[in-house]
Amino acid sequence: MSFAALVCECLVGVVFAVAAATKLRDTAGFGEFADSVRDLAPPFVARWSRPLAGAVVALEVSVPGLLLVPATARVGLAVAGLLLTGFAVAIGAALRRGAGVACRCFGNTGVPVGRRHLVRTAVLLAAVGFGLAAPHAPPAAVDLASAVAVSLPFAVTLIALDQIVELFAPSAPERVKES
């Protein structure tokens, strides 16, 4: 397996592990995610939002576990790819409808879904595609440790994308009080 493909697998695994953990850390987190699924989904799917949200989280939990085992890594990448494709479709549809649905990908950011969420999804889909295209073999321990170290800054950047954009976005000037 190429080192770049291993980095891609680690990136996808870390992002999915954090996404699942933030949704499961408390019942309110999952409830907010289920509400966002209802708001993102087409109206005919809305009544199934809780089971759909549960299935999404269960699949998100499975991705890192599948990626850890060389024999199931391709399955993990395929599951991640299917989920990411679904996310892209849902986000794109919400943007076309002009729905101001909050992104609950990584907890309660309260930021409405936007083009940056499509870009993040596209980056992850590219990592999945690269990982699937590469030949697979069990990695050496040193390669795995190095791949985790290389992928972590990228994973943190993707996970914290809303906060990073908010940090560098121009803010409205503060008004000066007149005496």
The answer to whether residue 177 scores a pLDDT higher than 80 is no
Q: Is the pLDDT of residue 6 over 80?
A: yes
Cα distance between residue 125 and residue 178, in whole Å: 52
CB 81 within 8 A of CB 89: no
Mean pLDDT of 159-167: 87
Mean pLDDT of 34-61: 83
> For residue 46, what are the contacts with CB-CB under 8 A and spacing of at least 6?
38
CA distance 16 to 115: 20
Task: Write down the pLDDT at residue 171.
Answer: 66
The residue-averaged pLDDT of 34-39 equals 79
